Amino acid sequence: MLAILLVSLIGLTAILWLASAPLRIRKKREKVRRMPFPKSWRDIIRQRLPMFRSLPADLQLQLKDHIKIFLAEKQFVGCDGLEINDDIRVTIAAQACVLLLNRDTDYFPKLRQILVYPAAFIVDKEQRNEIGLSFQHRAVLLGESWDEGQVILSWHDALAGAADPHDGSNVVMHEFAHQLDQEDGRANGAPPLATQADYASWSEIMNREFAQLQYCAQQELPSLFSYYGATNPAEFFAVITEVFFEQPQAFNEQHPLLYRELSHFYRLDPLTW
């Protein structure tokens, strides 16, 4: 009888511990928010992230809070001899956390680690041909997002993406857009939206615009979006996210309905920055 009671008590304790996890996480994050933002981190942002200077004051404050929590919760791992330091951590975190501004967020909940290579890296990938046979090939990548809890980045290209906030190319934003997309499963171009009613408009406009980019890629017609976005809906969402934050005027002029969808999703209007 005593053994049964002991097992029951342990089980109840475990259940209560799991049930209290969200509250404990919130308290921990509030504690981190109250901590001062290090001056050395401010210097890194000013040096590495020109976009920061264009943000309204309230978004700057939000971003600094997000960076503190992100860096408290995520592990950075250097690859190919790269030594991780605050310059790397803050520069990458700042770009990733721009995607979280003005939104209810759980800080990329699936993500545990950011693996950083000095430059572009080589991976072995499996691919199927037109008759269904699979084969291995080597690919040179600037970044990758895994739904198992990792983002892989080239530090050289993360720096380049931050340095030019108007070229429509940002590998950090691209890969972390995939993380948003993967919050409800594998990346498919349909991240969790605020309400069920949002999905109809999202699906209609995204599908139409994706098909248009595929046509442009096939016919080699000019497009604001990289042809890489025509690969699949997940890459399309990541590519248009880069352009949304870095070339909002051209985006809104050429694709106003799509711009409206992303503005509603991100709860931001970069045109006003």
Note whether 38 and 163 are same-domain residues.
yes
- Boundary of a domain, candidates 135, 167, 199: 167
* DSSP states of 46-87: HHH-HHHHHS-HHHHHHHHHHHHHHHHH-EEEE-TTPPP-HH
Domain boundary among 167, 199, 216: 167
Identify whether residues 151 and 42 lie together within a single domain. yes
pLDDT of residue 155: 98
Residue 6 lies in a domain: no
Structural domain harbouring 200: 188-273
Across 125-155, b (16+ Cβ under 10 Å) vs e yields eeeeeeeeeeeeeeeebbbbbbeeebbbbbb
Domain containing 261 — which CATH number? 3.40.390.10
The model's pTM is 0.87
Taking each helix axis from N to C terminus, what angle separates 21-34 and 57-73, rounded to the nearest 10 degrees? 120
DSSP strand pairing (121-128 vs 134-141): antiparallel
In the predicted structure, residue 141 carries a pLDDT above the cut 90: no
Q: Looking at the structure, tell me whether residues 141 and 234 fall in a common domain.
A: no
Residues 51, 161: one domain? yes
Q: Are residues 145 and 195 in the same domain?
A: no
Same domain, 212 and 111: no
Task: Band the pLDDT of 2: cuts 50, 70, 90.
Answer: low
- Domain endpoint, select from 138, 167, 196: 167
Instruction: Tell me whether residue 22 is in a domain.
Output: no
Q: What is the mean pLDDT of residues 31-40?
A: 95
Number of domains in the chain: 2
- Going by C-alpha positions, the residue among 152, 149, 147 that lies closest to residue 77 is 152
